[in-house]
Amino acid sequence: KILVTSKYALDCRKYNDTYASVVWENCTLRQWLNNDFLEGAFEPWEREMIPTVTVSADRNPTYRTYSGRATEDQVFLLSIAEAYRHFPLDSMRLCIPTEYAIIKGAWISDNGYCYWWLRSPGNTQADAAGVLTTRGGVHESGNDVDNNENAVRPAMWIDLDP
């Protein structure tokens, strides 16, 4: 298996449709990624290569915010810990949104980068962590879960021997 993350931010969506205390396990973005996005972005034979995996529910490392339970997903967002591990330098976390994401409302900085969601909670469960636009730092305190200007950068495991 290999972990892949989209090179670009593919869409602009709220972490959760309403402002509320919510964790990855119950947020509307998770449901969208594993249903509408998965079905619309991949052919049936491609979906067979995307296994369902256990996605950890790591607490926010700074604020220790409760993050719910582990989930079983095919498509997910990176956690704070995974963002640091897989993109060790801030510059590696910078992400350009697609034209589609921009049309959907993704906010872009003067240098063309966007803020993208992580699955970890922010300083409260009504906030979700993300990656900052201008320098690629992880925004551990997060943004309101119903923020409609943050982009989505899906991640998934690919089974090389389906």
* pLDDT score recorded for residue 133: 83
Distance spanning both ends of the chain, measured CA to CA:
9
* pLDDT score recorded for residue 161: 85
Which of 109, 56, 108 minimizes the C-alpha distance to 82? 56
Q: Return all residues near 57 (Cβ < 8 A) that are at least 6 apart.
A: 23, 24, 25, 67, 68, 69, 70, 71
What number of residues does the chain have?
162
- Other Cβ atoms less than 10 A from the Cβ of 152: the count is 25
Token look-up 């320098």 returns: 135
DSSP string, 7-30: SSB-EE--SSSSSS---GGG-HHH
* pLDDT score recorded for residue 162: 65
Please tell me the distance from the alpha carbon of residue 106 to that of residue 112, in angstroms, as a whole number. Answer: 11
* pLDDT score recorded for residue 120: 98
Instruction: Give the helix ranges, DSSP H, for the chain.
Output: 28-32, 38-41, 44-47, 80-86, 90-93, 99-103
pLDDT values of the chain reduced to their tens digit, one per residue, 162 residues: 999 999 999 999 999 999 999 999 999 999 999 999 999 999 999 999 999 999 999 999 999 999 999 999 999 999 999 999 999 999 999 999 999 999 999 999 999 999 999 999 999 999 999 999 888 999 999 999 999 999 999 999 999 986
Q: pTM of the prediction?
A: 0.96
Query: Residue 149 has which token pair?
Result: 């200007």
